[in-house]
Chains A and B, each alone.
Chain A
Amino acid sequence: MNRTIQFAKRNIIELSRDALGYIFCIAFPILMLIVMSVVNESIPKEAGMIIFRIDYLSGAIIVFGQTFVMLFTAILVATDRSTSFLMRLFSSPMKSSDFTNGYIIPMILVGIIQAIVTVIASCVVSAITGTELKVAGLLLVILLSIPSAVMFLSIGLIAGSLFNEKSAPGVCSVIISVGSFLGGVFFDAEGVGGPMLKICKCMPFLYCTKVARCTIQMDFAWDNFGKSLLIVSLTALGLLCLAILTFRSRMKADQ
């Protein structure tokens, strides 16, 4: 456990010294929250479009932010793999669980910090626009967005283990685009319906957005919230196991 903590600490320092991390993981999602709120204010009320209303938007932005956690996990792992620093650590008494947990723990923390910052920004937007937000929902979403954060960081761990530091960000960018589109972050997937909705429902991203939205709105009905949380949690667990196996097998291959 001590070695896991030491490695996690090192990864936190690495992340905290990367200015791009602040821009992509914190500033960009907040910027999108503000921009989409401005868009929402510009849409006539008669249009009945609620997708960018702050109680809908903030959950989606939390999930959008988590896609960048995936990107930074992939970059960190792929960069470490490309340097002899990781080789040195492979020759140390660290176990493979020290490595995987040392990557996972800081990224969960980043996901939580991201959710807190988004919640605070949402409160500011809500105060400006006069849209009501439920405090309990905002507090709960910080906790209930952890499964989706684990899901995204697992994808990042897989990408970082399989690809090098040049191609891993490219792969993650594709997943960010697909994830935010099929996750209904910036459009109403359920309002569109038809084959588009069917495709969205085949991917886990839509359920991540639904969990965050429902939590903020304190809508804990099984059909919307319960089922989605179960799907996200199981997907996160499956991907986490796959990520650990992938990293371990790459660890052996890299040696």
Chain B
Amino acid sequence: MEMNQKKDMIRLDNLSKHYGTKKAVDGISLTVKEGEMLALLGVNGAGKSTTIKMLSCLTKPSGGTAKVDGHDISKEQTLVKELVGVSTQDTAIARNLTVEENLNFMAGIYLDPKQYDKKKRRERVEEVLQDFKLDEVRKMKSSKLSGGWQRRLSIAMAMIGNPKVILLDEPTLGLDVLARRELWREIEKIKKNRTIILTTHYMEEAQELADKIAIMISGKIVMTGTLEELEEKTGQKGLENIFVSVAEGDRA
């Protein structure tokens, strides 16, 4: 099936978030199709994390609507929360728990006990431990893991409930180049049949991983499309040149 025949898994219509007079997100509209990965690209303070927070029901929109698999994020929070796995910007792990305990805990939160008895839940945890190559550190306290391993665990925790939608907020922020590449490979693996929004300010990350890129500047989405489409629209080659031309054009 072609990408454009797939259903809209995420749909934002004029979505905005204001903090007093500051417009963190200023009426953005976009759609992400089922199985597609969208990179939300922008500098710090562009409104990427606020958008993720709204989609993960952590903060209410000031205006507009957003739907995940047809469910309104303001009106059907419980349903949306069950569909979405989130990996926040900071590594959100229980630091005194081991890797395995963290995954067991999240499995207990996300997996319905009616469908997943203890045995099935354990199997799911094992599966994720293997998929993310966390087996060798399974008994290690999370606080003792390196930054790269912690990020990997954080994404594995977002995956434990087999979510339809994954929101990755700056997943490789602060990692060295090798750890980043390693994590990219993990993200590539989880792409299959899942809809992902990834926020980043690393151009090469968006270029490498995403099917579609949305450039966000000062709370607004100023351009959306595949890399080829963005190159055609701006007449620039490569994402960094595209981003600079769009950002400078916006400033002018």
List residues of chain A with CB under 8 Å of any chain B CB. Answer: 2-3, 5-7, 9-10, 13-14, 17-18, 83-85, 87-94, 255
Docked complex Cα distance between A14 and B102 (Å): 11
Closest B residue by C-beta to A88 = B92
The answer to whether B81 touches A93, judged by C-beta atoms less than 8 angstroms apart, is yes
The answer to whether A10 touches B94, judged by C-beta atoms less than 8 angstroms apart, is yes
Closest A residue by C-beta to B83 = A93
Which one of B108-116, B181-189, B219-227 is at the interface? B108-116
Contacts of A9 in B (CB 8 A): 105, 108
Q: How far is the CB of B95 from chain A (nearest CB, A)?
A: 8
With A87-B58, A88-B86, A88-B157 already in contact, the answer to whether A93 and B109 are too (CB < 8 A) is yes
In the complex, number of A-B residue pairs with CB atoms less than 8 Å apart: 66
Let me know if B101 is at the binding interface, CB within 8 A.
yes
Contacts of A13 in B (CB 8 A): 96-97, 101
The answer to whether A14 touches B81, judged by C-beta atoms less than 8 angstroms apart, is no
The answer to whether A18 touches B82, judged by C-beta atoms less than 8 angstroms apart, is no
> Size of chain B's interface in residues, with CB distance under 8 A?
30
Docked complex Cα distance between A84 and B86 (Å): 11
List 15 interface pairs A-B (beta carbons < 8 Å), by A numbering: A5-B108, A7-B109, A10-B105, A84-B90, A85-B92, A85-B93, A88-B86, A88-B87, A89-B109, A90-B58, A93-B81, A93-B82, A93-B109, A94-B109, A255-B53
Closest B residue by C-beta to A18 = B96
Closest B residue by C-beta to A91 = B56
The answer to whether B92 touches A87, judged by C-beta atoms less than 8 angstroms apart, is yes
Contacts of B84 in A (CB 8 A): 91
Contacts of A2 in B (CB 8 A): 108, 113
Q: How far is the CB of B222 from chain A (nearest CB, A)?
A: 27
The 9 closest A-B pairs by CB, nearest first: A6-B108, A88-B92, A84-B90, A91-B56, A84-B92, A93-B81, A17-B96, A84-B88, A91-B86
